[in-house]
Structure 1
């Protein structure tokens, strides 16, 4: 079977969009995914209809054909005549003993229907949800999250996945505000529910930071100390939540993880990600001081130094310049990826005699790497 036709086989996964979307910092990996509501808002979704597959066939050469009985038209162009049934030139799985609902998104031009996304609708419950989601396209801000909140723990995988995607695509600022009115007991029950997919635990923990009570501080600390895979999956969100609920205990816990020799690398990396999120959502002077303090600790950890230096560069914090330049090329800081982080920092920082001297020495010792980093930063034209 040809790959081109395999691509269209329907599973309930998010479509990929080339556009950059600002999403929840905790929910890495969802930025390019489209919920049903978002897909409906795309300019190429000129035809949106729901139907039931009545027949499908797959040819030896990989081509296929599917007959669909149209049940409801959600979006139609003015020149598109509603039809009781349609036939598309793609193969969609058909099970005579199951509910074969299908939600189609298609472009339409010069009388031709070009279906680019098909979402399997395995039950009438999912069908009703899809209709509601398409009807919610005008909702924005907290009202949007209010609408999807009841569906987060739906027994239907399709419904819960789409509802979670709406939360994962929400901005940090929206989630911060929305979290203040959530029920901490409900969030903890979701976090502790073994049926909840691990990839959702970080967001649920993050939300707890906006509504939690004093008892939840201990709950979060215990999560952070646990080596259980589910607790580790929630680490980033739990750490940021603890920092929000009790800054002193939160930063003390994070610094402790970074300093301890027996902290696993994955946990250290989670700490770096938590610092990045904290920097995005916390703008107080004391918060920034704690962020820089934590990065300075990470700077002394050879395996994390390049990440810490890069974050300091992005934050345009040059207070550790002398310390950074002094450890360049020393034991534990000699890997090429590490050296490039040092060079990006030095080339971005405001020029002073110390940096000028450092770069001049590099022109002699490692001119090729210095040139490559300059090119990556757009400081010099790329060599043909």
Structure 2
């Protein structure tokens, strides 16, 4: 189990190296399909079609099937040979009932002049089509676009609701935060109270927990606390987003609750510990202005009390350049329960990072933490040369 979390952490840390990629999309939204706007933009022609009839495939005749639609509306591609009210045929069978609306997208076929190859078909209704064509274009500033999609997050039409969520999933956190005054905490709480209805809502619970932390009040903080403290020991979708939302909303007071219930509680699960760790990483990366840096340092140092994830916390403290934690970190090297190879390697990496953290001119003296780290490294190299060389070999500053 430990190796699983270590691998997950290594992946997350490697992903966090590139701040640009990390900040490019909404945290806790998971992987979503491209939004309708993105799909329309990536195709040469888009039409709304009405199902007419289809011919099923015939293997003996080497026929792959065909489907015909009436073109109801040309969304994109007026320069192609398309006409409203005309017939469009695609070279594959798609079952349907007469009159069904389908969004059909295609690109120019490079093997045939002025021909289109239709590749994407999405079931539509008049309602979902109106939603799509009335949505702000991709040229509109992101925050203005999100104001439109915010209203449709839990729309009864599944295509509309899923697409509105996709728009948030591809948006940066910094573009979501300003929408907090427009969010309705009462509605968000109702979605979190029943995360399994509709079925796809469970995929949005992390995002909903996060935005409740942006727009909620004291009662919402209590609501999130109760959700976190009564959660199952097994991993639940969205629990990490709710943890971040809770800390954003309650600050140090909220973290103290989690520290008592999860970090200091020997009965807490590794899932509990990991969600706290992830929440601290999130706040450090995305919203350090909301929680003072010293409080984040203190919170991450508290995570060092648990041997199951101490190595992960040490790596984060090094990344955060918290050199005041050096004595506490080094003190774990021989401490019972902590003195296993993953923790020891993390401690050596922490010290190597501290040693190389100062890039000063020759006339300036080295900061005290650099000299202190060097002394610790010399001692550990002497005491554990084999492990030291392993870390040194794979260390990248």
Aligning the two structures, in what range does the TM-score lie when normalised by the shorter sequence? 0.7 to 0.9
Q: Please say if residues 51 and 70 of structure 1, whose CA atoms lie closer than 8 Å, have aligned partners that are also in contact.
A: yes
- Provide TM-score, normalisation by structure 1: 0.77
Q: Please say if residues 252 and 295 of structure 2, whose CA atoms lie closer than 8 Å, have aligned partners that are also in contact.
A: no
**What is the aligned partner in structure 2 of residue 47 from structure 1?**
45
**What is the aligned partner in structure 2 of residue 156 from structure 1?**
157
Looking at structure 2, the residues matched to 77 and 361 of structure 1 have their Cα atoms a distance apart, in angstroms, of 75
**CA shift in 2, pair 1:336/1:112, >3 Å:** farther
2:133 equivalent to 1:131: yes
Looking at structure 1, the residues matched to 37 and 149 of structure 2 have their Cα atoms a distance apart, in angstroms, of 11
**What is the aligned partner in structure 1 of residue 189 from structure 2?**
188
Deviates more, 1:162-171 or 1:98-107: 98-107
* Aligned counterpart in structure 2 of residue 273 of structure 1, from 275, 278, 303: 278
* Aligned counterpart in structure 1 of residue 221 of structure 2, from 212, 217, 224: 217
Q: Please say if residues 70 and 85 of structure 1, whose CA atoms lie closer than 8 Å, have aligned partners that are also in contact.
A: yes
Q: Give runs of aligned pairs for residues 281-360 of structure 1, distance below 5 A.
A: 281-284=286-289, 287-328=292-333, 332-333=337-338, 338=343, 341-351=346-356, 352=370, 353-354=374-375, 356-357=377-378, 360=381
Looking at structure 2, the residues matched to 62 and 328 of structure 1 have their Cα atoms a distance apart, in angstroms, of 70
Looking at structure 2, the residues matched to 274 and 189 of structure 1 have their Cα atoms a distance apart, in angstroms, of 23
CA deviation profile, 1:53-102 (whole Å, cap 9, x unmatched): 43253454895544443322222274x2225333344x453133782513
Looking at structure 2, the residues matched to 182 and 224 of structure 1 have their Cα atoms a distance apart, in angstroms, of 22
**What is the aligned partner in structure 2 of residue 28 from structure 1?**
30
Q: Please say if residues 242 and 249 of structure 1, whose CA atoms lie closer than 8 Å, have aligned partners that are also in contact.
A: no
Which 5+ residue runs of structure 1 have no aligned equivalent? 1-18, 380-384
Looking at structure 2, the residues matched to 131 and 203 of structure 1 have their Cα atoms a distance apart, in angstroms, of 26
Q: CA deviation at 1:174?
A: 2.0
Q: Please say if residues 348 and 391 of structure 2, whose CA atoms lie closer than 8 Å, have aligned partners that are also in contact.
A: yes
Deviates more, 1:326-335 or 1:255-264: 326-335
Q: CA deviation at 1:335?
A: 6.1
Looking at structure 1, the residues matched to 193 and 306 of structure 2 have their Cα atoms a distance apart, in angstroms, of 33
**What is the aligned partner in structure 2 of residue 6 from structure 1?**
none
Secondary structure in structure 2 of the residue aligned to 1:302: coil
Q: Please say if residues 101 and 127 of structure 1, whose CA atoms lie closer than 8 Å, have aligned partners that are also in contact.
A: no
2:202 equivalent to 1:198: yes
Deviates more, 1:33-42 or 1:159-168: 33-42
Q: CA deviation at 1:365?
A: 0.6
**CA shift in 2, pair 1:75/1:329, >3 Å:** farther
Secondary structure in structure 1 of the residue aligned to 2:89: strand
RMSD between superposed Cα atoms in Å:
3.4
Q: Please say if residues 48 and 101 of structure 2, whose CA atoms lie closer than 8 Å, have aligned partners that are also in contact.
A: no
Q: CA deviation at 1:107?
A: 4.8
Q: Please say if residues 54 and 65 of structure 2, whose CA atoms lie closer than 8 Å, have aligned partners that are also in contact.
A: no
Q: Give runs of aligned pairs for residues 61-80 of structure 1, distance below 5 A.
A: 65-76=66-77, 78=79, 80=80
**CA shift in 2, pair 1:100/1:74, >3 Å:** closer
Looking at structure 1, the residues matched to 115 and 314 of structure 2 have their Cα atoms a distance apart, in angstroms, of 54
Paired residue total: 350
Which 5+ residue runs of structure 2 have no aligned equivalent? 1-19, 357-369
Q: CA deviation at 1:261?
A: 0.9
Q: Please say if residues 263 and 305 of structure 2, whose CA atoms lie closer than 8 Å, have aligned partners that are also in contact.
A: no
**CA shift in 2, pair 1:273/1:86, >3 Å:** same
Q: After TM superposition, where is structure 1 displaced by more than 6 Å over at least 4 residues in a row?
A: none
Secondary structure in structure 1 of the residue aligned to 2:56: strand
**CA shift in 2, pair 1:283/1:301, >3 Å:** same
**What is the aligned partner in structure 1 of residue 239 from structure 2?**
235
Q: Please say if residues 325 and 358 of structure 1, whose CA atoms lie closer than 8 Å, have aligned partners that are also in contact.
A: no
